[in-house]
Amino acid sequence: MVVVRGTHRVPGDKSITHRALMLATLAPGRSTIRGALPSLDARSTAGVLRALGAGISALRSGKVVQVMGRQELVAPRSTLQCGNSGTTARLMLGLLAAQPFQARLTGDASLRRRPMRRVTEPLVHMGAAVQAGRHDGLPLTIRGGPLQPLDWTLPVASAQIKSALLLAGAVAGVPVTLHEPAASRDHTERLLRHFGYPVRVLPGLIAMEPGGRITPFDMPVPGDPSSAAFLLAAAILADGGEIRIAGVGCNPSRLGYLAVLGRMGAPVGVEGVREPFGEPIGELVVRAGPLRAVTVPAAEVPGLIDEVPILACLAARAHGTSRFHGLAELRVKESDRLALVAENLRAIGVTAEVQGDDLVVEGTDALLQGRVRTAGDHRMAMAFMVLGHRSPGRIVVDDPGCAAVSYPGFPAALAALAAGVA
């Protein structure tokens, strides 16, 4: 019997860590970032920024990060390596679009397959020059310079595309108006607003005017709510008990999965919220309990895009048949997550299928066992490690180490739930 207990913490928010490093680089002087995520993705961003002239101390667990920013970035001497990080590549394109030099970006095999034209096309419209290969991805070369104002309709709801264009406008000092088909996470808007940029957000519209100024800062990075979702899921699947996750980001644009959990019969409480730098930070509380099937409409997906793999794994243990609609964007993540989630569920004994861009999962209480293929996708690894937590050794994840992309030390954190280790 597995009973969970205790107060736990998760590593720093990956999205905010990326953005804090970039903004600190643009702030002339010394900035301090507390609780930054020392993941592989965040280290990719730090490495790229160092190549552009920033002084950034090592990203290590529990260590404060010091950043010496610059008035002007410098041209890199070699190709910028973005690793596996789509956030690094896309947001850096926005920063580089306003710089008076040329830079070339690349990444690992997975990142080179991910689409970039949805970012580069509006940047070219603003005045940047982009040279890409035959396909819609890295490697590519961008030459920046003075940019023009932008009024653009985003093809998909994407925080990465939106953030790249807002950062380009902020650095270049030009207005940016974006029409978004659905709401996506809003960390960039909140941070720019904190630094004095007028950012107006209406349903389907984000409009930023120049006028802000990025100055050195001392920022706390909240715990990553996407990482917290995996511990919450493990606690829900336990035989009993309750856990609290302290100091976690409670930005509404990141907590769409809480509504889904509530409909499944596992409501999560949010307590003690405060808002440094405009970002809500609080505590999440959840108890173990039975689950029922759920339907997730396409309109909800942009607000829980990173949590679909773990929600699908929870659906495998829910009573009834769950349906997730409109998951096309999962096909262009670190892996084709839509196909891979279904494939892996079937591999361990769950009935699951892809119907167009929808995922259908039939819940079961049967013993699950088999081998899971991650394709190097950190969220795939963590989701199936959670399912395997109840049956050690029966669900084998082929590359558990890739979880370090977003959650260094995840296996130990998972084990600590039952032990009640804070």
Reading the block at residue 103, the tokens are 């830079």
Q: What's the pLDDT score for residue 249?
A: 96
Helices 256-263/308-315 angle, 10° precision: 10
Which residues are bridge partners to 250 per DSSP?
none
**pTM across the whole model:** 0.86
Name which residue leads in pLDDT, 279 or 332: 279
Helix (H) or strand (E) holding 188: helix 187-194
Cα 96–Cα 180–Cα 213 angle in degrees, nearest 5: 45
Question: How many other C-beta atoms lie within 10 A of the C-beta of residue 412?
Answer: 9
Confidence of residue 218 (pLDDT cuts 50, 70, 90): very high
Confidence of residue 333 (pLDDT cuts 50, 70, 90): confident
What secondary structure, in 3-state letters, does 109-156 show?
A: HHHHCCCCHHHHHHHHHHCCEEEECCCCCCCEEEECCCCCCEEEECCC
Cα separation, 398 vs 131, in Å, equals: 37
Q: Judge whether 219 and 32 are in contact, CB under 8 Å.
A: yes
Cα separation, 41 vs 45, in Å, equals: 7
Q: What's the pLDDT score for residue 336?
A: 87
Confidence of residue 420 (pLDDT cuts 50, 70, 90): low
Question: How many other C-beta atoms lie within 10 A of the C-beta of residue 177?
Answer: 17
Cα separation, 9 vs 243, in Å, equals: 10
Active site residue 358: no
pLDDT tens profile 404-413: 888 989 999 9
Cβ-proximal residues to 253 (8 Å cutoff; 6+ apart), any chain: 159, 183, 184, 185, 186, 187, 303
* Mean pLDDT rounded to a whole number for the chain: 94
Q: Which phi and psi (to 5°) does residue 148 adopt?
A: -100, 160
Catalytic residue among 306, 365, 377, 399: 306
Q: Which phi and psi (to 5°) does residue 168 adopt?
A: -60, -45
Q: What's the pLDDT score for residue 421?
A: 57
Q: What's the pLDDT score for residue 135?
A: 81
Of 186-190, 348-352, 406-410, the poorest mean pLDDT is in 406-410
Name which residue leads in pLDDT, 376 or 125: 125
- Label the pairing between strands 321-324 and 295-296: parallel
Q: What's the pLDDT score for residue 10?
A: 95
Q: What's the pLDDT score for residue 30?
A: 98
Q: What percent of the chain has pLDDT over 70?
A: 99
Largest CA distance in the chain: 63
What average pLDDT does the segment 130-139 reach? 88
pLDDT tens profile 78-126: 999 999 999 999 999 999 999 999 999 999 998 998 999 999 999 999 9
Q: Judge whether 37 and 13 are in contact, CB under 8 Å.
A: yes
3-state helix, strand, coil in the chain (%, to 5): 35, 25, 40
Q: What's the pLDDT score for residue 422?
A: 46
Does residue 141 register a pLDDT over 50? yes
Cβ-proximal residues to 179 (8 Å cutoff; 6+ apart), any chain: 152, 153, 154, 204, 205
Q: What's the pLDDT score for residue 325?
A: 97
Cβ-proximal residues to 150 (8 Å cutoff; 6+ apart), any chain: 122, 125, 126, 165, 168, 169, 174, 175, 176, 177, 178
pLDDT tens profile 9-44: 999 999 999 999 999 999 999 999 999 999 889 999
